[in-house]
Amino acid sequence: MKNHFPNSYLEIDLGAISNNIESIKQRVPDKKYLAVVKCDAYSHGVVQVAKHIQDQVDWFAVANVDEAIELRRASVTKPILVFGVPTYQTAAAYQTHNLTATVSHLTHFSILMDGTDYHLNFDTGMGRLGFSPDQAKEVRQQAVINQRLTCSGIYTHYATADDPGSDFVETQHGRFEKLIKHFDEIPIKHISNTGAATNYNLDNYDMIRFGLGMLGYNPGKTRHKWLKPALTWKSGIAQLRPVKEGDTVSYGSTWVSPSDGYLATIPVGYGDGIPRALSNKLKVSINGELYPQVGNVTMDYIMVYLGKDKGEITIDSEITILGGDALNASDWSELAGTNVHEILTNLKGRFERSHTNY
């Protein structure tokens, strides 16, 4: 549903996304590059992002068939890998829309229609989807038997590559290196996400996958200064009001005003994607200065304490909630005890989104 009267605005810098991709390419050159654009490109707007970067990447990846069809209907022509599990209900869509399936179970060979392109997915330690490495010979046998299908790739997912220093990354890499010896003829072998490609000096094989990286973030706690966040979230002030010393704010009365001063009520809350776990931890930017959010985050509003003197802040002042000169998604994730992925993909609902190319 289109919001005719949005409560806030997401500004997406497409130029920053392009620059982030080029920065990753410089650090990991001479590979194929796959852009992960699932979940509406992590709330950045999948159609606009994909069409903008299509000439910079070789592949796209999405979570399910519906997301892939959306890209095809938007005239995105690059190969699209669907990470999700194929079913009898979705089998025809892979053919109709020229999509690449993921085969992660022996039953998938019989589900897919003749001529379907696919990648094999092996579970080297993620514990989510995929064949066991012990099944390598059996999987190869089924791939040979099912030559009515086309196998164009093989991959696995790292579980602990978000930050440097994990021994389990090397364990998974070793498992993948061993099992792909059964599949020498498969043209594309891929294992590395943004974290693995930028935090580890291991073989990235033929293609790397980046999602958060192109949007300006390393997936873990490690910060890369050469990545620039592409998303900025802004809003306005719904109400500017005085508060007296000793007054309490929001549900649970968790915050008490230390002095007479002013509150700004901002029309965004956890219904828009601000985690309630950020209550009394968040800071927003007004006129280039950070101000504390106070009291519990509510569904539709947050309150911001402006201090004793609101200065030049007026009802018309712009509020930067996330990105820009406010805290970024990495800051939010650390304060809320979650990850950047959740922060970004929870942004939804009542905003208007615009895309620029600076």
Q: Is 217 a catalytic residue?
A: no
Q: Is 251 a catalytic residue?
A: yes
Provide the CA 62 distance to its chain's centre, in angstroms: 11
DSSP letters spanning 268-292: --TTTT--GGGTTT-EEEETTEEEE
Phi-psi region of 42 (alpha: psi -120 to 50; beta: other; left: phi over 0): left
CA-to-CA distance for 257 and 130, rounded, in angstroms?
A: 54
Assign 303 to helix, strand or coil: strand
Which position among 38, 189, 228, 234 bears the catalytic label? 38
Instruction: Tell me which residue has tokens 């998303």.
Output: 231
Q: Which tokens belong to 318?
A: 């712009």
Q: Which tokens belong to 100?
A: 């690449």
What phi and psi, each to the nearest 5 degrees, are found at residue 117? Answer: -85, 145
- Tell which residue, 35, 68, 34, 79, has the closest CA to residue 206: 34
- Tell which residue, 283, 278, 270, 285, has the closest CA to residue 349: 270
Residue 76's CB: how many other CB atoms inside 10 A?
A: 18
Which position among 137, 178, 221, 251 bears the catalytic label? 251
CA-to-CA distance for 60 and 211, rounded, in angstroms?
A: 10
Q: Which residues are catalytic?
A: 38, 251
